[in-house]
Amino acid sequence: MTERKKVLLRLDPAVHDAIARWAGDELRSTNAQIEFLLRQALADAGRLPGTAGRMRPRGRPRKEPPPEPSPSSRSEQDDEEVS
């Protein structure tokens, strides 16, 4: 994955509050909502580059389940439990 660009953005406080509320309704961070709106505007204007990566889906990332123990470590665990 390529490194994401950082941008300092100055907004009117009322605009920021409106975007933050909208982001909460959409289960996005304020930053993700701003990126979503910018991408939407670029796409509507026919200016979204084809090389632009996809955005993450809305909401919190899913927790990955813990890895299954390997068969060799299972037998070691079983031996420890028996002792």
Q: Say how many domains are in the chain.
A: 1
The per-residue pLDDT for range 8-30, each reduced to its tens digit, is 999 999 999 999 999 999 999 99
Q: Look at residue 40 and tell me if it is in a domain.
A: yes
Concatenate the DSSP letters of all residues of 43-76 into one string: HHTT---TTPPPPPPSSPPPPPPPPPPPHHHHHH
Mean pLDDT of 26-55: 92
What percent of the chain is predicted at pLDDT more than 70?
75
Q: Look at residue 82 and tell me if it is in a domain.
A: no
| pLDDT at res. 69 | 76
CATH of residue 23:
1.10.1220
Q: Look at residue 43 and tell me if it is in a domain.
A: yes
pTM above 0.85, yes or no: no
Range of the domain at 42: 9-48
The per-residue pLDDT for range 63-73, each reduced to its tens digit, is 877 777 766 65
Q: Look at residue 70 and tell me if it is in a domain.
A: no
Distance CA 14, CA 12 (A): 6
